[in-house]
Amino acid sequence: MSHDWPRFLVILFPLLLLYPVACKHIPDVDRHFQRSASLETVRYFRYAIDASQFDAAYHCLTDSTREQLSALAFQAMIRFVDVPQLGGLGLTDLLVCSDIDGIEEVPAGGGSDRWVTLIWHSEDQYIEYSLRLQPGSAGLWQIDLFATRGVDLTGSP
């Protein structure tokens, strides 16, 4: 009987290694979303973050944003930063768990850029947070992560 235990581990160990892979296959963001429109780019960005496809999310950013923020710093910011002005709400929650306002806005002064507003709400907060997008090369839209606007409509401190 004591000799069966090592054989059991030899069979069980590979199955335990494959279990997480088999149970959590997340489809690639490029199979479901495109970046040819501003709203679709925001959906692409949010899905990529939610699916931990941080490289895809990072490539949604404008060149100037990527010059100021490395891929590693972006990933750390998305995963670990809380927004103190919003009661410590995590940046990931703000970006991924919010609703998208389906009406994009043209910035004051016109131009080809667009504002896409995310709406996050809980029992005690209602926040509108807008991302500024601009058309990039090859017809792909890009997010300027440092040009945002937001308002907490509950008056939280």
CA angle 96, 102, 103 (to 5 degrees): 130
Classify residue 112 by its DSSP letter: S
Give domain limits for the chain.
29-152
Distance from C-alpha of 12 to C-alpha of 142, rounded to nearest angstrom = 46
β-sheet bridge partners, residue 82: 90
Whole-model pTM over 0.85: no
What is the rounded average pLDDT for all residues in the chain? 81
Is the pLDDT assigned to residue 6 strictly greater than 80? Answer: no
Calculate the dihedral angle through the C-alpha atoms of 61, 104, 130, 141, rounding to the nearest 10 degrees. 0
Q: What DSSP element (H or E) covers 124?
A: none
More confident residue, 104 or 26: 104
Span 29-152: which CATH code?
Answer: 3.10.450.50
Provide DSSP, 68-87: HS-HHHHHHHHHH-EEGGGT
Say if CB 24 and CB 50 are below 8 A apart. Answer: no
Say if CB 145 and CB 63 are below 8 A apart. Answer: no
Q: How confident is the model at residue 157 (pLDDT cuts 50, 70, 90)?
A: very low
pLDDT of residue 12: 52
